[in-house]
Amino acid sequence: MIDLHTHSIFSDGELIPSELVRRAVDRGYRALAITDHADLSNIDLIVPRMVKVCRQLREDGTIWVIPGIELTHVPPRHIAELAREGRRLGAEIVVVHGETVVEPVMEGTNLAAVTADIDILAHPGLVTDEVARLAAEKGICFEISTRKGHSLTNGHVVACARKHGVTLVLNTDSHAPGDLVTKAFAQRVAAGAGLTEKEIRGLFRNSKRLVRRCKM
- The model scores a pTM over 0.95: yes
pLDDT one-digit tens code per residue, 173-189 = 999 999 999 999 999 99
Give the chain's largest Cα–Cα span. 44
In this predicted structure, what is the pLDDT of residue 59? Answer: 85
In this predicted structure, what is the pLDDT of residue 60? Answer: 79
For residue 124, the Cα-to-chain-centroid distance in whole angstroms is 11
pLDDT one-digit tens code per residue, 138-159 = 999 999 999 999 999 999 999 9
pLDDT one-digit tens code per residue, 106-150 = 999 999 999 999 999 999 999 999 999 999 999 999 999 999 999
Domains of the chain: 2-215 (3.20.20.140)
Cα–Cα distance, 203 to 139 (Å, whole number):
14
Cα–Cα distance, 168 to 34 (Å, whole number):
19
